[in-house]
């Protein structure tokens, strides 16, 4: 059996932007996306599809996801013999440092500095490997916040792989509530927390909205992290404020830089103020205070 593979050769900035778009475009479990340097001033984006798709079908889906931008790109479609294709897609993913945190795959376990807080996350399992500008932006924001103070009641909303929940739990050795609307992501989040030595601190819960009783039981929260998308962030602003403790902090990401003002307006309308905004690779991370 073979696995479809689509490859694009690009400059670094375009490769990272294209990889970000494709990570968001392909539904959970449908494809594995990686971007990595192949030579000086040349990067590759590789997309590995599931066994039920052909390389041509994967290339077509990629063109649809990229829209007009795909017209100027050289897209190579191929198939590779069945092997550990997820592991192959990880070969080019180097560890990602973000402050005191380093996110890495198991293939780089021996490369993590002893004084870093290592978080081992495999790609293609759920969203959030650290290679996406939004995840790295959140980790940098958390590193700064956790240096300033300790947060006793923490919520990671839309946890995905639980990389952010694990980061807080390991840094503070304290509890974190990690919720997601996707049941598979919740299962993976719990497994990742356990594998990283944070199982005793991270409670992973399947919750489709703030009406779930766990929010009332564990809140109000003095730190809420939400790395999702701009639209849901805007819609959730009133609920986030309602579950935020006085003097609490909110870290928001999953929004592109041109979406900053729309998201900020929604949270300012709830009485929150901007502490800092960070832009990475076309994505923004916002830290707000109650």
Across the beta sheet with 75-81, what order do the strands follow?
31-39, 42-49, 2-10, 75-81
| 123 cis-preceded (ω within 30 degrees of 0) | no
Looking at residue 254, its pLDDT comes to 86
The closest alpha carbon to 158, from 225, 86, 217, 218, belongs to: 225
Report the DSSP beta bridge partners of residue 289. Answer: 249, 273
The pTM assigned to this predicted structure is: 0.71
pLDDT by position in tens, the chain (length 290): 567 778 888 888 888 888 778 877 775 456 777 777 777 778 888 887 766 678 888 888 888 888 887 887 888 887 766 544 445 555 555 788 899 999 988 878 888 888 999 999 875 443 444 556 788 899 999 999 999 999 999 999 999 889 999 999 999 999 999 999 989 889 999 999 999 999 999 999 999 989 999 999 999 999 999 998 889 999 999 999 999 999 999 999 988 888 999 999 999 999 999 999 999 877 899 999 99
Looking at residue 81, its pLDDT comes to 60
Residue positions in the annotated binding site for S-adenosyl-L-methionine? 135, 158, 180, 227
């Amino acid at each position: 059996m073979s696995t479809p593979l689509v490859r694009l050769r690009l400059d670094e900035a375009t490769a990272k932007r294209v990889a970000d778009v494709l990570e968001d475009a392909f539904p959970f479990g449908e494809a594995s996306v990686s971007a990595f340097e192949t030579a000086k001033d040349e990067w590759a984006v590789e997309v590995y599809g599931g066994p039920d798709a052909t390389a041509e079908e994967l290339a077509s889906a990629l063109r649809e996801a990229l829209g007009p931008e795909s017209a100027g790109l050289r897209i190579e479609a191929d198939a590779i013999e069945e092997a550990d294709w997820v592991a192959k897609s990880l070969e080019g993913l180097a560890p990602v440092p973000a402050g005191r945190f380093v996110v890495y795959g198991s293939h780089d376990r021996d490369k993590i500095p002893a004084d870093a807080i290592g978080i081992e996350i495999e790609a293609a399992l759920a969203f959030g490997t650290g290679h996406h500008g939004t995840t790295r932006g959140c980790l940098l924001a958390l590193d700064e916040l956790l240096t300033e103070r300790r947060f006793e009641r923490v919520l990671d909303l839309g946890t995905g792989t639980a990389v952010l929940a694990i980061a807080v739990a390991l840094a503070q050795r304290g509890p974190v509530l990690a919720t997601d609307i996707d049941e598979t992501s919740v299962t993976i989040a719990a497994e990742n927390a356990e594998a990283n030595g944070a199982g005793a601190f991270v409670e992973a819960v399947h919750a489709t909205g703030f009406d779930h009783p766990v929010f009332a039981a564990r809140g109000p929260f003095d730190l809420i992290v939400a790395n999702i998308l701009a639209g849901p962030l805007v819609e959730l602003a009133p609920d986030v404020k309602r579950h935020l403790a006085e003097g609490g902090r909110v870290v928001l990401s999953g929004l592109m830089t041109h979406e900053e003002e729309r998201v900020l307006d929604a949270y300012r309308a709830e009485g929150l103020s901007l502490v800092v905004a960070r832009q990475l690779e076309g994505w923004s991370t916002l830290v707000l205070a109650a």
